[in-house]
Amino acid sequence: MKFPLQKLKQAGDEPFVFEDDVDIRELENMNNDIRRIPPVHVKGQAIMHGNEITFTFAIEGEMVLPCARTLVDVDYPFHIEAVEMFNTSSYYEEEDDSEVHPVHGEMLDLTPYIKENVQLEIPTRVFSEDSEAQEAAPVEGSGWQVVSEEPEEKKVDPRMAKLQSLFNEEENE
């Protein structure tokens, strides 16, 4: 989603309104939990005051993430409200903790900031509500197995069975 600076300047004091679908499938190949992400819908406006440009926009979409329990695909819809600020001055130097981004050249590319906001929205874990998927999940594999939290019956060691029978007799008396 690229904007020519000349177009933003022509808007003057009026907000420059934009709306489009943005393909950010590159996030699927990055080191995160996103398995699939179709194009997201971005809608917003840009206001230019001198050398400062403020973009206020909303990102809507859906990403597919793995379930934390079963690893099945979970559709995770999201809606993000974002504000990004830019400076077009050639004398502007970006500070380390600054929230204002410098613009180099005559085009302003909003796509990296859309990707960044979506990455920040990825939850640490999601759970599938589908009971069939939970039942179909593997319970053991090579060197591992799922341990339930249900209490198990106490099994008596066969060497101590005779001693256990004495304790049971004392409890009955």
In a domain, 153, yes or no: no
How many domains does one find in the chain? Answer: 1
Please state whether 105 falls in left (phi above 0), alpha (psi between -120 and 50) or beta: left
State the pLDDT at residue 9. 80
Name, in order, each residue with C-beta under 8 angstroms of 139's C-beta and a sequence gap of 6 or more. Answer: 145, 146
In a domain, 37, yes or no: yes
Tokens 């005559």 label which residue? 106
pTM of the model: 0.70
- The per-type count for the chain, helices as H runs and strands as E runs, is 4, 9
Please state whether 158 falls in left (phi above 0), alpha (psi between -120 and 50) or beta: alpha
State the pLDDT at residue 70. 80
In a domain, 103, yes or no: yes
Please compute Rg for the chain using Cα positions: 28
State the pLDDT at residue 45. 92
In a domain, 96, yes or no: yes
In a domain, 87, yes or no: yes
State the pLDDT at residue 40. 92
Tokens 């993430």 label which residue? 65
Contact 103, 90 (CB under 8 A): no
Which domain covers residue 93, as residue numbers? 2-140
State the pLDDT at residue 152. 62
In a domain, 158, yes or no: no
State the pLDDT at residue 79. 95
Contact 53, 84 (CB under 8 A): no
Give me 46's structure tokens.
């840009």
In a domain, 128, yes or no: yes
Mean pLDDT of successive 10-residue stretches along the chain, which has 173 residues: 82 84 87 88 90 90 87 89 85 65 83 90 84 66 73 69 74 67
